[in-house]
Amino acid sequence: MPPTPPPFPVSRSRRLRRTPVLRQLVRETGVEAADLVAPLFVKEGIDQPVPIGAMPGHSQHPVETLRKEAAELAAAGVRSLLLFGIPVAKDATGTQAWDPDGIVQQALRALAADFGDDMVLVADLCLCEYTDHGHCGALTQDGQVANDATLELYRRTAVAQAQAGATVIAPSGMMDGQVAAIREALDTAGFEQTPILAYAAKFASSLYGPFREAAEGAPRFGDRTGYQMDPANGDEALREAAIDAAEGADLLMVKPALAYLDVLWRIKQDLGLPTAAYHVSGEYAMVKAAAERGWIDGDRVMLEVLTSIKRAGADLIVTYFAKDAARLL
């Protein structure tokens, strides 16, 4: 006869939780420094870093200190950067976004010279930092974003960024048809091998506040709810992501991350493309603020948050914690 099992058997899972080494041995999800993408801000007209008040540990950089920051990230094991530019001059159509001597193009050339193929340089493609009205494209006479006119500006910007050394182009403006337009422009200009990371599901979130201070791109009137996604809509996010995939996106992004882990999971499961999540400025600032007040263990919460994003399906994570996390991984 088989032995009678004890009335309260020891959980097999609990046996494997007994020591740190055992827990690590059977851990299902791991985050590595190579999974992280560090967002950086480069600003024209400054010669020293300018700290970003709402994002402790981050600054707007001139090109030279941006290079130093990138070198420190590389030394910590972070091999991917996402660049945002802040020009001195802004106008109605954001012409500095595609100027060969625009601030992001300057930064891309410098970083490409420093790192070559050892660093993935992701160029954010949007116009909100470059327009004097703060919206993500050209405007009609009644103040609405003109979708098709904006696509032409995105084409120009994508080619300028690729020519300057961008490894990946990341359109974030949420214009209809933006991936197809950018893919066509890149291919025509001889950049068929340049991938597109589409902000496929970018929600009209309240968690972008600190970023708007960092990028100096808040709308001067109205908001972006007409072209960014309604936070209540998950099925719509799947449709938007599927359209971007069909138009030629190589990677798909969900933004923000934590409040949209269900969307991240569904996109990864349904479409199967490499999938990113953007752990945004507000999510970063909340952890930092609570840690500064002693309410939480900031390092443990940081790693728990990043692990949850990876577990939900992210292949890569854009996060302002990139340097801090890499040093602990």
Per-residue tens of pLDDT for the chain, all 329 residues: 666 666 656 566 788 888 888 888 888 889 999 999 999 999 999 999 999 999 999 999 999 999 999 999 999 999 999 999 999 999 888 889 999 999 999 999 999 999 999 999 999 999 888 888 877 777 888 878 888 998 999 999 999 999 999 999 999 888 899 999 999 999 999 999 999 999 999 999 999 888 888 877 776 765 666 778 899 999 999 999 999 999 999 999 999 999 999 999 999 999 999 999 999 999 999 999 999 999 999 999 999 999 999 999 999 999 999 999 999 99
d(CA 320, CA 197): 18
Tokens for 185, please give them. 């422009």
pLDDT of residue 127: 87
DSSP string, 272-293: -S-EEEEE-HHHHHHHHHHHHT
Which is catalytic among the residues 43, 68, 90, 255?
255
d(CA 274, CA 261): 15
pLDDT of residue 140: 81
pLDDT of residue 224: 64
pLDDT of residue 211: 86
For 253, list phi and psi in degrees, rounded to 5: -125, 145
pLDDT of residue 4: 67
The length of the chain in residues reads: 329
Q: Helix, strand, or coil here: 324? A: helix
> Does the annotation mark 68 as catalytic?
no
Architecture of the domain made up of 31-326: Alpha-Beta Barrel (3.20)
pLDDT of residue 64: 97
Q: Helix, strand, or coil here: 35? A: helix
Which is catalytic among the residues 43, 90, 202, 288?
202
- Environment class of 46 (CB within 10 Å of its CB; exposed 0-12, middle 13-18, buried 19+): middle
Q: Maximum distance among all alpha carbons in the chain? A: 86
pLDDT of residue 1: 61
pLDDT of residue 217: 72
pLDDT of residue 152: 95
Tokens for 121, please give them. 């340089």
